[in-house]
Amino acid sequence: MHHLRTRAVHAGQRPDPTTGAIATPIAQTTAFGYGTLERGAALFAGELPGYRYSRFANPTVAALEAKLADLEGASSAVAFASGTAACSALLLALLRPGDELVFLGPLYGGTEGLLRAYSERWGIQVRDATASGLEAALTPATRMVWVETLTNPTLRVHDLAAVARTARARGITTVADNTFCTPCLVRPLELGVDLVLHSMTKYLGGHGDATGGVVAGSEALVREVRRTGLGQVGGNLAPQEAFLFLRGVKTLPLRMAAHCVGALAVARSLAAHPAVRAVHYPGLQSHPQHALAQRQWQGGFGGMVTFELASGGRSAAAAVLDRLQLFTQAVSLGDVDSLACHPASTTHSFVSAEARAAAGVTEEMIRLSVGIEHPDDLVADLEQALGVLG
């Protein structure tokens, strides 16, 4: 098998047979002619391969799905209009009223908010196993375990192989959100997880110009997610966005290497600063799951760094954030540009103050998405911004 860098460029793509174009053409069309009634009937019945309507499948989107399935080591993948659409399709496809979902957190606030709303409206029990541990939280009704490969924003690392073993012994489907790590650093399916999802908007796209999501795994599970998410809910990715993601993924391994180098430099600098109480970064030996990250990850420790100021609450965080020059205040992540945000008032404003406190999301916390700028410049920017605290 070729190296990941090679597959990121070539998987799912070949020169266009009609024109020889190397870049996958954008199939900007809603419908596809199928010639005869008999062929159309066979296409709609799933008896023939091919395209009939872009809500169900599109050649540009299909090329992206093939590329991402290859990188994650999956049999199949399905792309959606956003990461949240991917999450919603997965839940609607695989859970029924009376089922139970157990998650290991903390989770991205939007995901936890979705899970809580879904449980209230559709009769799904949602249980947080972060404090109790997974084994103690499982019941006969548990049908799904949800985990992030690197938690948002506290950057905790979960043992994915152990999670997969525990769930599989009980016939429970496991889902890992791999947005923060990408297949460059962690491939959850290789560790026994059943389904992996991404907000492609982040590192996979990498340039802050496209919104999308993807779910990858076995053909049987992905088929159900596709049928529900595209055929019934209509959360399909547009071909223009698919083209942008195809372009972005080609440089993903190169970008992730730069993100990792920059983030480690930033984390080490912050850890030595007197105005900083704690730095959350799995590449630091002080991180409680550093050894696990070394064993489970490959090629670096990611581009996300979260730190907590020594004191001052939200006003101190605002003072630092408002002085940053190279870090743009924004809630996304994974761009080539460095970004910074205050999770308590942005990404985790979807959950209650009590839930934020339980997850360790403090008012002094700042989350950084370290871009591909030179690490020395980013460190200098943070040092000058922290200087406002005296």
202 is catalytic: yes
Nearest to 86 by CA among 213, 211, 176: 213
- Catalytic pick among 51, 67, 70, 108: 108
Nearest to 292 by CA among 126, 157, 90: 157
177 is catalytic: yes
229 close to 343: Cβ distance less than 8 angstroms: no
- Catalytic pick among 70, 128, 177, 194: 177
Residue 45 and residue 191: Cα distance in Å, rounded?
Answer: 35
51 is catalytic: no
Residue 236 and residue 210: Cα distance in Å, rounded?
Answer: 14
195 close to 175: Cβ distance less than 8 angstroms: yes
- Catalytic pick among 187, 202, 226, 367: 202
Residue 303 and residue 310: Cα distance in Å, rounded?
Answer: 23
- Catalytic pick among 55, 127, 168, 314: 55
SS (H, E, C) the chain: CCCHHHHHHHCCCCCCCCCCCCCCCCCCCCECCCCCHHHHHHHHCCCCCCCCECCCCCHHHHHHHHHHHHHHCCCEEEEECCHHHHHHHHHHHHCCCCCEEEEECCCCHHHHHHHHHHHHHHCCEEEECCCCCHHHHCCCCEEEEEEECCCCCCCCCCCHHHHHHHHHCCCCEEEEECCCCHHHHCCHHHHCCCEEEEECCCCCCCCCCCCCEEEEECHHHHHHHHHHHHHHCCCECCHHHHHHHHHHHHCHHHHHHHHHHHHHHHHHHHHCCCCEEEEECCCCCCCCCHHHHHHHCCCCCCCEEEEEECCCHHHHHHHHHCCCCCCEECCCCCCCCCEEECHHHCCCCCCCHHHHHHHCCCCCEEEEECCCCCHHHHHHHHHHHHHHHC
Active site residues: 55, 108, 177, 202
